Every structure is written in C-alpha cells, then in structure tokens.
Copies of this chain bind each other. A is one copy, B any other.
Amino acid sequence: MVRPRGFDEDEVGEGLLAAFWRHGYARTSIPNLTEATGLLPGSLYAAFGSKEDMFRVAVDRYVSEIRAALTSELTGLAALEHVLGTVVRLTVKDRERRGCLVLNAIPESTTLSDETRQALQAGLDEMHQLLRRHLREVATTAHATADIAQLEALCFGAAVSIRVLGRAGQSRKLLQSIADGATAAARRALPT
C-alpha cells in the first residue's frame, strides 16, 4: 500500500552527525547535508522537517555514542583515570580534531530555538552527570574529607577543556597532562 523509505535511517543519521560535527550548525549548508547523506533536499525535509530537527538528530546520536564510550566497569580512582584517559584518546584519535559536537555548538546556541538549546543543555548535563557518578563513588568508598564538589567540578572542567583544546589543535601531551593533573589531584585529595 505504501512505498517504503529508500534509505537507511541509521546511515543518514551518521551522515548528519559527520557533517554537523565537522562544520557546526550554522556553517553546515543543505548542500553539505545532501552530500553527507546522499539524500536530496526534498527528502531531507520530508524525513526531518527542518535543519534544526536534523541537527537534533545529530546531537542525540552524538550523546549516545559518548555515553557508550564513557561508561566504565571500573570503580574508584581507576574509573576516573580511565574515563579521563578515554576522553583524551577519543579527542586525539580523531584526525580532524572535531572536538565535542555539543561544546562546539554552545557559542551558536544563542541563535537556535529553545528546543535545540535545551537538547544541547541536556547533552552537556548528561556528560556532567556521567563524571559525577564516577567521583561520587570514589568519595563514598574513601570516606573522603576533601571537598567532593570541588573535585567533581575540577574533573568535569578537565574533561571540557580537553575537548575544547583538542579542537583547538593543542598537543596530545597537553591534553594528557590535564587528565593526569586531575587524577593526581583526586588521588592527593582522597585517602586511600
């Protein structure tokens, strides 16, 4: 009774993510998106509605991928070290040094709709919570005396700066030093 979609939604989503990740929201044109997805403008709009809708698809995909990459089986300081190490690794292994889709888009968010801005906020919050969870666990098992909120903030800040400075093309050595500095700070602040 109907004609089915001629494209794979997953592949198209991956194409949208690739394009927006490289160029950001505003500087990604519809021609860019047709090239990245293989779909023509009409199909894109029929399937998604608007350019911002396409962007939110990319953001959702991105956050899912990050969530998967940063979830760890480890506990305690080892988990923290592993997570920050993963952030460095993800940042550096990307030859294009695209950094974090969400953080890259923050400066643009003032010109986007409420819905899109909220999607970006939610993505940022989720990454924050992801780190908090690891550190809360460290704190409870260590009967910490140090200010845990400070450590949480420091480690979140470390992760954020690694992603941002990664896009800025800074050396792997610097990014790794930020990660190492944060874990060293946690180690010193917490009784083992």
Q: A residues bordering B, Cβ < 8 Å?
A: 22-24, 26-27, 99, 103-108, 110-111, 121, 124, 146-147, 149-154, 156-158, 160-162, 164-165, 167-169, 174, 177-178, 180-182, 184-185, 188-189
Copies held by the complex: 2
Q: Are A181 and B108 in contact (CB under 8 A)?
A: no
Q: Is the interface of A mostly helix, strand, loop or mixed?
A: helix
Taken together as a complex, chains A and B put the C-alpha atoms of A151 and B185 apart, in Å, by: 9
Taken together as a complex, chains A and B put the C-alpha atoms of A188 and B181 apart, in Å, by: 12
Query: Given A181-B185, A189-B188, is A157 in contact with B162 using a C-beta cutoff of 8 Å?
Result: yes
Find A168's partner among B124, B147, B168, B174 (CB 8 Å cutoff): B124
Q: Are B108 and A151 in contact (CB under 8 A)?
A: no
Taken together as a complex, chains A and B put the C-alpha atoms of A169 and B109 apart, in Å, by: 11
Taken together as a complex, chains A and B put the C-alpha atoms of A182 and B147 apart, in Å, by: 12
